[in-house]
Amino acid sequence: MEYHEQIKVGADPEFFLLDEAKINISAHDIVPGTKKDPFPLKHGALQADGTAVEFNVLPSRTRGEFSDNITSILDEIRGRVPKELTFDFSPSVQYPENYFNELPTLSKELGCDPDVNVDGKLNMPNPPEKGTWRTGAGHLHTGWGEDLLDNVDHAEDCRRYIENLDSLWCAFSPAFEFDPFRTRLYGRPGSYRVKPYGVEYRTPSNAWLKYPKLYPFIFELCSYTYHTMLGGNPVPKLRGNIPNKTYDLVAQGGPSFPKNFKEIRYGC
């Protein structure tokens, strides 16, 4: 893996909307932008993705920049969404059947390219039938160069990076994301896509988006994984509860999982 003192971390999370009766409604006619033509924001871009709100975070060089970019984007979106609607960061939601059936066909369509798993198996992220259920992702993008697809080692670098990052993510994520329904449909551990700048980690749900105190930790988790690998070392295998895992990781130069992280800024 080629060395860069600073990596860049971005994201493309999704979330849902609730009306005043706390019933999920589609974002297709509420937010601007599409996958092919995203609406520009100060620190990213916005689009409707099916029934969800999706945004793209500009690549960030520091934990503070990553956190500030996300909160800035959420502030902008909040200003564009009617105030009576609530942000819903649930990993899976179910729309009322009668309401869902009346939605435009395009907003109900499921379509996503397959991704690959660290065990080499191809993942088909969208099963043929979800009914009125939809899932929300919180994909993370880690960049460490440009035009890396020309590097014969890049695919293996990505696989090893995700294998190590996934080990840490799966150790800490049960504290803030647990949705067995979503994991049956999407977000298998160790899922990723090779990118020309680095790699996209596709396992995380959108649940982390609910807690701003997690944003710096997530950046540092990506950075720690990358720089640990550069030294030729695997990341540590963590066991036990969160305080013990945090202590073990910090003792080996890693970030500390934030205490009292369950402070929300928007929605539920």
The per-residue pLDDT for range 208-241, each reduced to its tens digit, is: 999 999 999 999 999 999 999 988 888 999 999 9
Give the span between the Cα atoms of 258 and 173, in whole angstroms.
Answer: 12
More confidently predicted of 176 and 125:
176
The model's pLDDT over 64-111, given as tens digits with 9 standing for 90+, comes to 999 999 999 999 999 999 999 999 999 999 999 999 999 999 898 876
- The span from the CA of 90 to the CA of 136, in Å, is 7
Q: Residue 57's beta-bridge partner residues?
A: 11, 44
Residue 126 confidence (pLDDT) above 80: no
Model pLDDT, residue 5: 74
CA distance 154 to 27: 37
Residues 28, 22: contact at Cβ < 8 Å? Answer: no
User: CA Rg, the chain, in Å?
Assistant: 18
Pick the closest to residue 144 from 227, 65, 236 (CA basis).
227
pLDDT grade for 3, boundaries at 50, 70 and 90: low
> pLDDT tens digit string along 31-48?
999 999 999 999 999 999
Residue whose entry in the numeric block shows the structure tokens 């009617």: 82
Average of per-residue pLDDT across 145-157: 94
Task: Report pLDDT for 123.
Answer: 77
Report d(CA 261, CA 218) in Å as an integer: 12
pLDDT of 128: 46
Average the pLDDT over each of 20-24, 28-32, 125-129, 168-172 and give the range with the smallest value.
125-129
